[in-house]
Every structure is written in structure tokens, then in C-alpha cells.
Amino acid sequence: MREEEIGAGLSAVRERIAAACAAAGRDPAGVTLVVVTKTYPASDVQVLARLGVADVGENRDQEAAPKALAVEAAGVQVRWHFVGQLQRNKCRSVVEYADVVHSVDGVKLARALGGAAERHRERPLDVLVQVSIDGDPARGGAVVGAAPTEADRDFDRVALTVAEAPQLRLAGVMAVAPLHWSAEAAFEKLSGVAARLRAAHPEATAVSAGMSADLEPAIAHGATHVRIGSAVLGTRPKLR
């Protein structure tokens, strides 16, 4: 039964989060589990909600938008987190269902998202600035101390653009550990960037880091949100 499968995965992940928090001397209540449902059906979101999951993540607008509508039509309420690469032409759609966007990494993108939020939603949208851990703008993420030729991807500029947008709320930072970095080193660096942001914007306390394979080091370095898919929902169906 699908609910039993998801329940078992969810229990295992919650135990991992609790153990990681205990090891780090943290309260598990300070870590939000975002279950990423990319490629999984809306029915799985309904199961998650019944099992007490309040936060659900999606990577692709073309899948997320109809899924959010289907879940709402079923009378189920969750917080939708857009965690994938966001294109400017998708901003209008995303602001209509997302509660949090984790992946803003450019000044132009922040302006487009802010404009869409002003026109198409009534309440502010929480936004995290995606950080490039290795400083390579070609792989996504805003770069701390970007070169003048890469001003659009400069971390401080992106953060300020989000903070100044009337319908956006600067909530914190997000990152994915690069393949050629250890998770410990990547999340230690992210922790430093998060502290830098909080110094300028004390309300920006969220740190979105850690997935199924590396949630423990993420929590050790201060993650407030972990983005978990397969460890809860099982092997992903293949995209067609």
C-alpha cells in the first residue's frame, strides 16, 4: 500500500533528522522537512499531507502548477516550495502557487519575480538566494564577490534586489553541494554566507541545504530546511 511505503520512508527520514539534530545539539523543531515530489503524482502529496507533512517541493513549473491545482481541488493544503532552476518566463506561473522560492540567483530574475508577485499575488513571497558554492556562475547560484562582468549574479546585489521588492520577503539562502566538494566543506561555506546575509538582513534566517544523501552534514552546519525526495518517496519514476 502506497501510504505504508511513504509512511516508512517518512519515519526513517524523521529519525535521521532527529539523530542529526541530537548530534549537533539542535532542536529538531528547528528543521523543516520539505518533501520533493518531482515526478510523483498529486495523490502522493495527499498521502504526505495525511501523514503530517506540511511542506512540499517541486523542481519544474510545468509539473508543479497542475499538481498544485489538483491538490487544492482535493481540499488539501500544503506549503509549496519551488526548489528548481527558475526561468524568468515562468515567474508569473510560479507566484500563483508557490509559498517559497529557493532558487533565485540573479538580479534580473529577482526583478522579474518581484514584478510578477506584485501583479499576481496578494501576500509577500518568501525567497531564498541560491548560492554558488564553488563560485562558478555557469552552474547556477549567486556568487559572493562576483566579478564586474558577472554583476547580475553577484550575491549581495541579488539579496538587496529581493529585499527591496515590495512583494518579496528575503528569507535566507539555499545551496546544493557541488559533486566535486565534500558535503561538509560545501555546507560549512554556506553557513558562512548565511551569517554574512544575516548580518545585513537579520530576518533572513533560513538555510536550505541537504538532500537524501547529505542531510546530516547539512544539519550539522545549520540547515533549517532539508529537501528530501527519494528517501521518503522511493525510487523516482523515469521522466518521459
- Asked whether residue 238 is assigned to any structural domain, the reply reads no
* 4: CB partners within 8 A, 6+ apart: none
- Asked whether residue 158 is assigned to any structural domain, the reply reads yes
- Asked whether residue 125 is assigned to any structural domain, the reply reads yes
The whole-angstrom distance between residue 39's C-alpha and the CA centroid of its chain comes to 17
Answer yes or no: are the C-beta atoms of 171 and 127 closer than 8 Å: yes
- Asked whether residue 191 is assigned to any structural domain, the reply reads yes
Answer yes or no: are the C-beta atoms of 146 and 193 closer than 8 Å: no
- Asked whether residue 239 is assigned to any structural domain, the reply reads no
Domains of the chain: total: 1
A 10 A CB-CB count for 136 gives: 11
Distance between CA 32 and CA 226 in Å, rounded? 6
Residues of the chain with pLDDT under 50: 240
Answer yes or no: are the C-beta atoms of 128 and 172 closer than 8 Å: yes
The x, y and z cell numbers of residue 6, run together, are: 511513504
The whole-angstrom distance between residue 199's C-alpha and the CA centroid of its chain comes to 21
Strands 79-82 and 55-58: parallel
Q: What is the pLDDT of residues 103-159, one digit of tens each?
A: 999 999 999 999 999 999 999 999 999 999 998 877 789 999 998 889 999 999 999
User: Which structural domain, as residue segments, surrounds residue 141?
Assistant: 2-233
Residues across the chain = 240
- Asked whether residue 240 is assigned to any structural domain, the reply reads no
Bridge partners of 58, per DSSP, are 82
Q: What is the pLDDT of residue 235?
A: 82
- DSSP per position, 190-206: HHHHHHHHHHH-TT--E
The x, y and z cell numbers of residue 194, run together, are: 548565511
Q: What is the pLDDT of residue 138?
A: 74
The x, y and z cell numbers of residue 220, run together, are: 550539522
Answer yes or no: are the C-beta atoms of 97 and 122 closer than 8 Å: no
CATH number at residue 110: 3.20.20.10
The whole-angstrom distance between residue 194's C-alpha and the CA centroid of its chain comes to 14
Answer yes or no: are the C-beta atoms of 105 and 158 closer than 8 Å: yes
Q: What is the pLDDT of residue 173?
A: 98
Q: What is the pLDDT of residue 236?
A: 67
